[in-house]
Amino acid sequence: MKKIIRGKNCSLLRFEAGDEKLVDLIHKLFNDEHITGLLNPDYPLHKPKSVIKKWVKETAENPYGVWYVIKSKQNYIGYVCYKWRENYTEACEISTAILFEYRGLKLGYESSKLLSDYVKGLKKFKYLVAYVHHGNKRAENNLKKFGLSKANRLQKTITMALYNEDGSSGEYDLFALKLS
């Protein structure tokens, strides 16, 4: 897994345990009222820094997920990751979150595109997928720009494999890109 993925306006740096600047960023993201409703509820949302620090360490060492901090100039502005399940390499999920003040600057698109291009090159997964909170048009449009499309037929199968639920709540839409 690459430690650094470089782009034109941002770079992706692999999560490292003990990076206080990263802990500060994640704490800020996981307490940002603008986006916490859009994030995975399994994340330690609205928790103190000590809990976030432990989560960052565990996440950096997780063998079934690779997390990168998005760096623009000298600033940590968000994260992007790809993750899968131990016994299910059919699909890999990508996820992105960016600080409120950096949204709309095309950094979300560029960072997600960098990661998706990298994952495509791995030739390890059949599908690249992303979950979008129903009604989040900006995220939908960014995913469509690099080839993902709404995948209603795959949603139940992939959601069951990744999250052990059928995805019928209607809260999230699955977008997918067939890689092989």
Structural domain boundaries of the chain? 4-126
Find the mean pLDDT for residues 24-34.
95
| Residue matched to tokens 């995913």 | 143
HEC string of 22-51? HHHHHHHHCCCCCCCCCCCCCCCCCCCHHH
- Cα distance between residue 173 and residue 169, in whole Å: 10
Find the mean pLDDT for residues 94-112.
88
In angstroms, the first-to-last Cα distance of the chain is: 20
Write the burial class of residue 90 (CB in 10 Å: 0-12 exposed, 13-18 middle, 19+ buried).
middle
Helices (H) and strands (E) in the chain, counts: 5, 8
Q: Determine which of 53-67, 78-92, 133-147 has the lowest per-residue pLDDT on average.
A: 133-147
Please tell me the class of the 4-126 domain.
alpha beta
Considering only CA atoms, which of 149, 164, 168, 175 is closest in space to residue 85?
A: 164
Q: What is the pTM of this model?
A: 0.92
Find the mean pLDDT for residues 79-102.
93
